[in-house]
Homo-oligomer: A and B are copies of this chain.
Amino acid sequence: MKQSVGAKTILYPTPVLIVGTYDDAGQPNGMTAAWGGICCSKPPCIYVSLRKATYSYGNILARKAFTVSVPSQEHVVEADYFGMASGRDGDKFAAAGLTPVRSELVDAPYVAECPLVLECKLLHTLEIGLHTEFVGEVLDVKADESVLDEKGAPDIARIQPLIFAPGNRAYFKVGEFVAQAFSVGRQIQED
């Protein structure tokens, strides 16, 4: 028997993404968001949903671009800080000791210390309510060589991304391998 817990934003897992933008003065800003993910395969697109009150909101609309940097668990303090402080009040990169890198493809900076980054051109803006969804076309994915597997693909086990659990209001690690996708389910198809 299931119990109602109300109309809430509880879904597992959600990601921990640092959204990179430039402000009017060209100052790099980073903001952590968990309302984000992949939303189209062709063209490859991801989205982040931000409140209008955020500094990043205006930055994305002005530059039509953003990046998403995926921090590893070793940067949980910085990632949490980037989700609480506002770029209006100062340089978050400097305060956290992180390094902004200018993207060569889009008008936005990414975080050098994050092992996986996506450079996005703004494609759609969807006003939903408290949050506005920004859909960006992924022009490139860049990864540290140390997190690539033998086939050259970014490996989740080496990246060690954070998971955000809204119901727990906490960060978790990625755990063990369970099964290969598009494979383990075949035993039902073949029954």
Residues of A within 8 A of B (CB): 1-15, 17, 34-47, 49, 51, 68, 70, 73, 76-85, 95-96, 116-118, 123-124, 126, 128-131, 133, 135, 137-145, 148-149, 152-157, 159, 161-189, 191
Number of copies: 2
Partner of A153 from the list B5, B80, B123 (CB cut-off 8 Å) is B5
Contact status A182-B155, CB under 8 Å: no
Chain B neighbourhood of A47, CB < 8 A:
39, 133
Q: Can you give 6 contacting A-B residue pairs, CB < 8 Å?
A: A7-B140, A77-B187, A95-B191, A153-B168, A156-B172, A171-B184
Contact status A165-B156, CB under 8 Å: yes
